[in-house]
Structure 1
Amino acid sequence: MSTVNLEHLFKPSSVAVIGASNRPHSVGQVIMRNLLAGGFDGPIMPVNPRSQSIGGVLAYPDVENLPVVPELAVICVPPAAVIPVMECLDRKGCKAAIVLTAGLGSTPHDETRSVKQMMLEIATRNKMRLLGPNCLGLMVPPIGLNASFSHQSASKGKIAFVSQSGALCTAVLDWAAARGVGFSHFVSLGECDDVDFGDVIDYLGSDPDTRAIMLYIESIHERRSFISAARAASRNKPILCIKSGRFAEGAAAAASHTGALAGADDVFDAAIKRAGVLRVYTIAEMFSAAETLSRMRPFRGDKLGIITNGGGIGVLAVDALIERHGHLAHLEQSTIDNLNSVLPDTWSHANPVDIIGDAPGERYAKSIDMVLADPNIDSLLVMHAPTAITDPVEVARGVIEQVKTSKKNILTNWVGEATVAPARVLFNEAGLPTYNTPEQAVAAFQHMVNYRKLQDLLMETPPSVPQDFTPEIDKARGIIHLAIHSGRTMLTEPEAKAVLDCYGINTVKTLSVETTEEAVATAEKIGFPIALKILSDDISHKSDVGGVVLNLESGEEVHRAATKMLKNIGKQFPDARLRGFTVQEMVKRQNARELIVGMTTDPIFGPVILFGHGGVEVEVVRDRAMALPPLNMKLARELVEGTRIYNLLKGYRDVPPVNLEELYMTLVRLSQLVVHLGEVVELDMNPLLIDQKGVIALDARIKVTPKVVSDDKRLAIHPYPRHLKQEIVLEDGTKYMLRPIKPEDEPAHYAFMSKLTPEDIHFRFFGSVRELPHSEMARQTQLDYDRAMAFVATVPNGTSQGDIHGIVQVAIDPNNEHAEYAVMVRSDIKGRGLGRILMEKMIEFCRAKGVATFIGQVLPNNRRMLTLCEKLGFTRKYLEDEEVFEVTLPLDQPTKPHA
């Protein structure tokens, strides 16, 4: 994950084409033609040893003879020639290359390396960035750069398109050209051996010429860099994606129901939702959504008002809205009364507001004014069908004039083609989204709704966990390791439940026995009724093979059931290793619902948590939702609300609602288990019973592996770095807990800010700030621990427990080169040394992370901070333009000790 030298790729001042050619229809010929026709104003230098000129431009025999160092090289030579070219470019000092050549991975360079491996080794030496190989190339229309072999060039615009498929790139270019859609960047990634989605998203996220980012994804190579970059960029501009390969031909066998249910496409949906990316399903939908979202005004709610001159098209819009689970606004009676005064008696008297077919621009304007004033209307769709007695352009002008000052989102749908085309031009010029059909207009509105929901998810402060809980990690790991050391990958049911118990997840009492007689004795000890289950490492889904018998009421029934079970399974699975039985008490709860809760490991995104409708019919019902760990209470709630069974859990008729808080807590604890125990690769609680009293797992299975990878490689989202917690004691005896900030800390952060003096606020924010908005506070508390960190000093106990007394935070650039810090200590406790401890904690964290430089900006009158920086070994430079000191600490040297 890095943007190092990407400016040479996307904003080069010179381009060399190695493999340029005059041969018609060759890649080298098309590349040169496109570069020369694009209007690029820097040197374009073709390299071909057999031609004096290419396309009328002087050619050079090799890279060594180029008159200047090319910022960007386009390589279109056969595989065997790629390495000599790369060596020359590296010696020359080139910083970026587009490799169009295919087949490098299958072409050997020497006995141990392919051409691709050697190419990447050369590129790594001096951080040369590579786009491709096997790609279509790159276009940056604002600078006239068309370094591609596409048949169609891209026009200028504000949308960036990034694709793994070269074939789709050409189709999109055709589609966009026919509709006048332009691009800020058009990028074909190819095989993503160096420059990947995460790198490009990071670059485009801060590019002022890019208003929206569109992605075509076939597979994700670097999951964490993708999610981190997308989460950061999507806070600033819309990101939309199309994902191919949504339907698998078949699922691999899994040891649990969770593993069988967790399709790759469902996991991808969960991942991009966590990253704030909006998914669409067609090219037309993608461009429509990008245009809509890039023009979107602040979004206030999801209730839509509709004004139309035709009842039929209004009804079509409502049908489309309801089909997409949208919300049609209800008009206030006062709004209806106001409309009665300006509309014909035959108007619809409801939403959609049908103002009758002969409505001129003036009637539209008056209706719009009254409808927008209705507090129930969040956004407005204005529709028009051409008639013989109205002018679509005149009506459009009336609409445009009326909505100029509106703060609500306005969408337009002028139905038809030739007659209404001039009106659509006016809407585009006025910056009002316009659509050809009612369905397209409603889809655009729902894109706004869904995008707003994603943004709210990124910004929403999660509630605190209702109760403190410390899991027994070592005990759980000990149970798992005993199974692994005995050569097993599946825990027994009692072992699985013991692991869940270590994380406070309620399970039914379960005992294992070896013989029929022991089963009878244990059942009598537990008390009837009981459930009897077969115990075998070779049988995972016990109920599928007759390995579960419920509601046994006596010892005789237990004996008969056990005997019959052994006989039947012995016939069906003679090779199965039977270890005996498990005996457990029957749990009977009136009105309880059966759920499934579990986790599995996706090959791309790693561990994923599943929740849904449970029981023996779980694969048939297939009502489930998924989320990536780690989870908090907010994310757990979102996961549950993503299923159909959620509506049943809320209660209905005489059935009371279940204890949802306990369910959310169970999901959070499962998430903790997944984060802590890398040995667990699959887990299943099915059924998990829930009612108004709480939850209890009736059955559990856990699959484990001895091959544990680090969290950095295992989890797609960086978990909370609990290992960085540290208790400290100041010289005056004051105790604090230093720990990374959590999203749940937002209320405490507000309280901390309220205790700062105006001078402290000025020193921190270089101005007067009364209160940070929620959006900004969310950015400071909801961190991607891969690229940002904040440590808070909190009171560990007493009546002020949890209060924040100091905070230090850094933003780390994607290249891990520098960390920019900010530090604040509560005004009433300054002078005790807390500020220095916070700074030293953060400096050591950044040093361990490999950050090169620790930097900050300090106002000249902030003497206390300048003195602290001097003691810590910072150098400083005054920036006259900004009237601040820039303080810098290289992290390749230790922090100065206390004086």
Structure 2
Amino acid sequence: MSPGGEDGSAERIASDLSAGVYGLAAFLPPRRVAVIGASERPGSVGRAVLENLSSSSASVFPVNPRHSQVLDMPCHASVTEISPPPDLAIIATPALTVPGIIEECAEIGVKAALILSAGFKETGPAGKLLEDRMIATARAKGLRILGPNCLGLMLPHAHCNASFAAKMALPGSIAFLSQSGAVGTAILDWSLREKIGFSAFFSLGSMADVDWGDVLFFLADDPRTRSIILYMESIGDPASFLSAARAIGSQKPVVVLKVGRTKAAARAALSHTGSLAGSDEAIEAAFRRVGVIRAQTVEELFSLAEALGGNARPSGPRLSILTNAGGAGVLATDALLLSGGELAPLSGETLEELDRILPPSWSRNNPVDIIGDADADRYRKAAEVLKKEPQSDGMLVLLCPQAMTEPTRTAELLCEAVKDYGKPVLAAWMGGEAVEGGTALFHQARIPCFSYPEAPARAFALIWQHRRNLELLYETPRLLVDPETLGTAAARCEEILRRAEREERVLLDEWESKEILRAFGIPVVATCLAESEEEAVARARSLGFPVAVKLRSHKLPHKSDVGGVRLGIENEAALIAAYRQIRDAAVAAAGADAFLGVTVQEMAAKKGIELILGSAADAQLGPLLVFGAGGIFVDLLEDRATGLPPLNTTSARRMIERTRIARALRGMRGIPPSDEKILEEILIRFSSLVLSLPRIREIDVNPLLAAGDGAVTALDARMVLFPQSTPPEALPRPAIRPYPVEQIETTRLRDGTFLRLRPIRGEDEPQLVEFHRGLSEESVFYRYFQHLKLEQRVAHERLARICMADYNIETVLVAEVLPPHPEAGRIVAVGRLSKLHGFSGAEFALVVSDRWQRKGIGRMLLERLTSIGRREGLEWIIGRILPDNEPMKRICLELGYRVRFNAELGENEAILSLRMLGDGGKADHKEER
């Protein structure tokens, strides 16, 4: 959205930014609400909303031209009669009337609308036209829309129920987001029964405007929200969701139940929301890439929600299980181990203490079975021993009602015993009415309690896996492939693609496909073209027998299916026979023009493992990478991992590790181990190929041979292009923005030193540590507005998140010294341009190493960030400067920023309207007090 009015003035930008009017502030919670379609009719949506809002502190204004009064409140004929205008308009009228109502709301300055009505894009083309019309109006005026076709929203802590749900959610720490209103009401009923509270409850419906990303970014800053669960039918805008999930996931776990895994379910989701569900493999890869926890069933979503509502999160995979029934312990153990958790070992000291307090027949192992006659005091004593076990990361307590069992008293003593544990505690109290009292006590103590043993064990393991995944996501990668060196590879491939387009074909043959692989530095087996028997013989002589001979065809992509592959050809006679057999088979299968000759290749003489490397285009998430076991049995083995580009060494290694064939790559049965770094490098180069050549729809490199001597070679390859008629804007866009090589610039300082201004990389963390060592206390204070110790600034968790920037939402430039300077490779300045979600602007910040100050680097960085912001389509840029930071203020004024003092914050704001600036020029600079 676009604050600043028509003129985009600095004053208006600063005012609107401070008020947050273009984010979700008007929804959360609203102060003045218009209910359009208000009604007294029992069972109507308009009446339900009015009744639900009655308990909130907001002023409520019914709107319905057919009534002068509704539920004893004055009723307005139109929203335009309400002055001052409401913050939020809730619309519950037929779809045909909604675009006109949105126009009225926009005209009087309403900033948020919640559309409960159905009948838009989910109904077909006519409904989509209605939706497009209202969204165009809303975007032009800066009005945000939640819905349509939604249940509404609840903010329990603020006593705000802006929905037509029958009941209000309890306050809690879990935020719930759902596309389906019906699923939302079902989860609401469950939460009330289980006494689970929510910090926020959003029904997003068709997500015509406000989407997952908008709400997740809001919840990131909500102190009442500790975790988030989603019921998702469509991912919507993939880049928005993935950026938001990545930004929030390290602090607040995000759990998603994504439906539409089968084709039939995906079609049902399309008819419900009007949005594509996306292929499940692509969705899985996307969730994994940003650290989202995926629930498989509604029951598991509930289990994870309950577990996340507890007081602590596991710091490791080891769980202690305390039970009065061996069978229940076995069930929990199976669920734990199958989900990636571990049983905590019991130390000698723990065993001795348990021996002193438990009957001789106790299990003497984990699970700790304290026997069926265990009373409440035995449970308490055992729990007090287990909570001291240093090798355990959490505790699960199971109870099966038996003759001597005291479910309520046991729960009471356990709550007291573990209150200072500091690690997660979960419980499963099995049974009916007999355990209800104990279950209630656990809920009051914020100890998640379940009805069966498997659910808490699996939830513990999945939450630990989430934490571990985040650690791996932010592991510092190695720089194996410099992205700048791959920039010229695409240009070398363009002629191959143009030739295919001139010939009006979408299939590249094996030789063309290998040439493209070769251009990106992926090793291929020596391959020659031959269009006659004589040429084939000559090529084989030059390569040396034995050779492989393969069909070259633009019509038959799968050579083996038509007998187009002959291996181990030992002599010229066998070669000529193979040539003729391949030619005759191709002609018989698809006509004379299907045979263009053969390729003659070296035979791979080394033993090795056959792999597959491929890519395909997903309708929603763009390019999808595939790695796994290859060869002719690839479809039978079904051993593959999927991932989203771009890759670095960490994400490439994790793709490899997720396959079963990875164990063989470490060496087995006479085959020495493969070189892990070479495989990672090939995956990274392949990822760059896929991103650099978006006109390629599919790639199959099969087999990719990993030999025991470390060599990895592509033996066969094929590529399929998008039809020539596909416009550039219709080509799939990557869900994760790749390294922006177009932002790299080389510049020269006044003293002749060359610098490269380039986007930051994950591999820059060690250099950034050195950079922070060169900052004085004054430079640190000017940048961060507080004194931060060196160990705080260089903590891995912090630097990893800076270095692994999300290029979709921020630009982080480093200034790197170039040869022949003796400090070549050193980072001497860092500048950041962070987009402000919900706005069309961004905030800048920069810092220059003390020894490199007063050389013009700060000005260069800000000028470059400003230029990038303009190209990114930003409308304004803001920066915050301490009043005594005169050098930074001077740079801003020189570059056309308006500098104004914000008395409330006690700091200067430097603001540049890029709309007023225009193309290439500078605005008049001005300082205001």
2:494 pairs with one of 477, 484, 490: 477
Note the residue ranges of structure 2 that are not aligned, 5 or more in a row. Answer: 3-20, 268-276
2:788 aligned counterpart, secondary structure: coil
* C-alpha deviation, 1:486, in angstroms: 2.2
1:536 pairs with one of 531, 543, 553: 553
Counterpart of 1:71 in structure 2 is 87
2:399 is equivalent to residue 384 of structure 1: yes
Paired with 1:431 and 1:108, the residues of 2 have a C-alpha distance of 46
Counterpart of 1:747 in structure 2 is 766
Is this contact kept in 2: 1:217–1:243, CA < 8 A?
A: yes
Is this contact kept in 1: 2:562–2:586, CA < 8 A?
A: yes
Amino acid at match of 1:829: W
Counterpart of 1:513 in structure 2 is 530
2:245 is equivalent to residue 227 of structure 1: no
Q: Aligned ranges for residues 677-692 of structure 1 at < 5 Å? A: 677-692=693-708
Is this contact kept in 2: 1:4–1:127, CA < 8 A?
A: yes
Counterpart of 1:702 in structure 2 is 719
* C-alpha deviation, 1:341, in angstroms: 4.2
* C-alpha deviation, 1:711, in angstroms: 11
Paired with 1:284 and 1:517, the residues of 2 have a C-alpha distance of 68
Counterpart of 1:570 in structure 2 is 587
After TM superposition, the score normalised by the length of structure 2 is 0.89
The 10-residue stretch of structure 1 (612-621 or 2-11) with the greater mean CA deviation from structure 2: 2-11
2:736 is equivalent to residue 721 of structure 1: no
Is this contact kept in 2: 1:32–1:54, CA < 8 A?
A: no
* C-alpha deviation, 1:710, in angstroms: 6.4
1:867–1:314: structure 2 CA closer, same or farther, 3 Å change rule? same
1:309–1:78: structure 2 CA closer, same or farther, 3 Å change rule? closer
Is this contact kept in 2: 1:302–1:326, CA < 8 A?
A: yes
Is this contact kept in 2: 1:712–1:718, CA < 8 A?
A: no
Q: Aligned ranges for residues 102-181 of structure 1 at < 5 Å? A: 102-105=118-121, 114-181=129-196
2:27 is equivalent to residue 6 of structure 1: no
* C-alpha deviation, 1:499, in angstroms: 0.5
CA displacement 1:538-562 (0-9 Å, x = unmatched)? 1111112211121111221122222
Counterpart of 1:290 in structure 2 is 305
Is this contact kept in 2: 1:5–1:127, CA < 8 A?
A: no
Paired with 1:494 and 1:623, the residues of 2 have a C-alpha distance of 27
Is this contact kept in 2: 1:357–1:387, CA < 8 A?
A: yes
Counterpart of 1:259 in structure 2 is none
1:667 pairs with one of 661, 683, 692: 683
Q: Aligned ranges for residues 14-33 of structure 1 at < 5 Å? A: 14-33=32-51
Is this contact kept in 1: 2:623–2:732, CA < 8 A?
A: no
* Residues paired across the two proteins, number: 885
2:469 aligned counterpart, secondary structure: helix
2:508 aligned counterpart, secondary structure: coil
1:348–1:805: structure 2 CA closer, same or farther, 3 Å change rule? same
Note the residue ranges of structure 1 that are not aligned, 5 or more in a row. Answer: 253-261
Counterpart of 1:256 in structure 2 is none
* C-alpha deviation, 1:437, in angstroms: 1.7
1:340–1:12: structure 2 CA closer, same or farther, 3 Å change rule? same
Is this contact kept in 1: 2:23–2:838, CA < 8 A?
A: no
Paired with 1:83 and 1:833, the residues of 2 have a C-alpha distance of 52
Is this contact kept in 2: 1:107–1:115, CA < 8 A?
A: no
1:382–1:881: structure 2 CA closer, same or farther, 3 Å change rule? farther
Counterpart of 2:638 in structure 1 is 622
1:101 aligned counterpart, secondary structure: coil
2:846 is equivalent to residue 811 of structure 1: no
Paired with 2:899 and 2:716, the residues of 1 have a C-alpha distance of 63
Counterpart of 1:759 in structure 2 is 778
Q: Aligned ranges for residues 17-416 of structure 1 at < 5 Å? A: 17-36=35-54, 39-105=55-121, 114-248=129-263, 264-295=279-310, 297=312, 299-360=314-375, 363-416=378-431
Counterpart of 1:832 in structure 2 is 855
CA displacement 1:774-807 (0-9 Å, x = unmatched)? 2221222111112112111112246644221111
1:61 aligned counterpart, secondary structure: coil
Is this contact kept in 1: 2:694–2:732, CA < 8 A?
A: no
Is this contact kept in 2: 1:9–1:129, CA < 8 A?
A: no
1:457–1:162: structure 2 CA closer, same or farther, 3 Å change rule? same
Counterpart of 1:426 in structure 2 is 441
After TM superposition, the score normalised by the length of structure 1 is 0.92
CA displacement 1:182-232 (0-9 Å, x = unmatched)? 333332322222222222222222223333222222223311112112211
Paired with 1:302 and 1:380, the residues of 2 have a C-alpha distance of 11
* C-alpha deviation, 1:271, in angstroms: 0.8
1:571–1:820: structure 2 CA closer, same or farther, 3 Å change rule? closer
1:775 pairs with one of 792, 797, 806: 797
Cα RMSD over matched residues?
A: 3.1
Is this contact kept in 2: 1:107–1:114, CA < 8 A?
A: no
Is this contact kept in 1: 2:777–2:787, CA < 8 A?
A: no
Counterpart of 1:553 in structure 2 is 570
The 10-residue stretch of structure 1 (531-540 or 182-191) with the greater mean CA deviation from structure 2: 182-191
Paired with 2:405 and 2:808, the residues of 1 have a C-alpha distance of 59
Amino acid at match of 2:614: G
1:371–1:178: structure 2 CA closer, same or farther, 3 Å change rule? closer
* C-alpha deviation, 1:577, in angstroms: 2.2
Is this contact kept in 2: 1:45–1:58, CA < 8 A?
A: yes
* C-alpha deviation, 1:314, in angstroms: 1.7
Paired with 2:265 and 2:173, the residues of 1 have a C-alpha distance of 40
Moved over 6 A (4+): 106-110, 466-469, 710-713
The 10-residue stretch of structure 1 (852-861 or 224-233) with the greater mean CA deviation from structure 2: 852-861
The 10-residue stretch of structure 1 (681-690 or 95-104) with the greater mean CA deviation from structure 2: 95-104
Is this contact kept in 2: 1:761–1:769, CA < 8 A?
A: no
1:658–1:369: structure 2 CA closer, same or farther, 3 Å change rule? farther
Is this contact kept in 2: 1:79–1:107, CA < 8 A?
A: no
Q: Aligned ranges for residues 870-889 of structure 1 at < 5 Å? A: 870-878=893-901, 883-889=906-912
2:142 aligned counterpart, secondary structure: coil
CA displacement 1:54-86 (0-9 Å, x = unmatched)? 233322233333454232222233333334333
1:210 aligned counterpart, secondary structure: coil
The 10-residue stretch of structure 1 (632-641 or 839-848) with the greater mean CA deviation from structure 2: 839-848
Amino acid at match of 1:404: K
Paired with 2:210 and 2:283, the residues of 1 have a C-alpha distance of 21
Paired with 2:125 and 2:617, the residues of 1 have a C-alpha distance of 36
Paired with 1:810 and 1:201, the residues of 2 have a C-alpha distance of 21
CA displacement 1:535-592 (0-9 Å, x = unmatched)? 11111111122111211112211222222233333333347622121221110222x1
* C-alpha deviation, 1:105, in angstroms: 4.9
Counterpart of 2:515 in structure 1 is 498
Paired with 1:629 and 1:131, the residues of 2 have a C-alpha distance of 31
Amino acid at match of 1:210: T
Paired with 2:875 and 2:589, the residues of 1 have a C-alpha distance of 64
Amino acid at match of 1:780: I
Paired with 2:36 and 2:804, the residues of 1 have a C-alpha distance of 46
* C-alpha deviation, 1:315, in angstroms: 1.9
Query: Sequence identity of aligned pairs in percent?
Result: 39
2:822 is equivalent to residue 802 of structure 1: no
Paired with 1:403 and 1:886, the residues of 2 have a C-alpha distance of 50
Paired with 2:131 and 2:788, the residues of 1 have a C-alpha distance of 55
